[in-house]
Homo-oligomer: A and B are copies of this chain.
Amino acid sequence: MTSPRPLRADAARNRARIMTAAHEQITEHGPEVSMEQIAAAAGVAVGTLYKHFPNKNDLVTAVVTASFETLADDAEECLQRESQGSPAMAELTGFLSRVMDTVAHNHTVKAAASALGADHAAHPAMQEVETRVTQALGPLIRTAQAQGGLRADFTLDDLYLMLSTLPADQPPTARARWLALLLTGLTAR
């Protein structure tokens, strides 16, 4: 269903190079890097990019979706640790804090984080990964509330809201302060 033909050897290699290069370039310069620049970084010609992706938007989406998985992995590890005795609230704040710091110098994850909670109706791949995040973070939130660390009315949407407003271009001290202020509001009384 996915692959009628196995994809030629060099084609597969180039595709991987393109993904890697695109990821690096977008991470560093944001989604507005030119196709030329991505091609150069990948060591291929522009035309090759279009042999693998119909247009720039699809390439960017592919890259963002892929690094989206990073977030899902992190979230699942949080749930994992929680099941081994770590306090749920600590895992949640750790997650938030890590994402915030990553987003500060990683445009790809920044795009991924602000895509969370948005309706990516068009991109089923994103839909799937978001489900992973949801299934990890949802239980974590409920546990944190049961354990009494997190205010009872806090929802997953609230978390996504926070992720979408992370102060990416602030200095580390300001970011830390931002998180601290918010956390005060999230703590159960």
Contacts and interface: CB of A to CB of B under 8 A. Distances in A.
A8 interface: no
Contacts of A181: 158, 162, 182, 185-186
A161 B165 contact: no
Interface in A135-171: 151, 157-158, 161-162, 164-167, 170
A177 B165 contact: no
Nearest to A160: B174
Contact of A186 (B166, B170, B185): B185
- How many copies of this chain does the complex contain? 2
A142 to B, nearest CB: 18
Contacts of A184: 151, 184-186
A186 to B, nearest CB: 7
A175 to B, nearest CB: 9
A50 interface: no
A161 B177 contact: yes
A181 B185 CA distance: 6
Interface string A55-97: 0000000000000000000000000000000000000000000
Given A161-B177, A185-B186, 16 more contacts: A151-B184, A158-B181, A161-B174, A161-B178, A164-B170, A165-B166, A165-B167, A165-B178, A181-B182, A181-B185, A181-B186, A182-B185, A183-B185, A184-B184, A184-B186, A185-B185
Interface of A: 151, 157-158, 161-162, 164-167, 170, 174, 177-178, 181-186
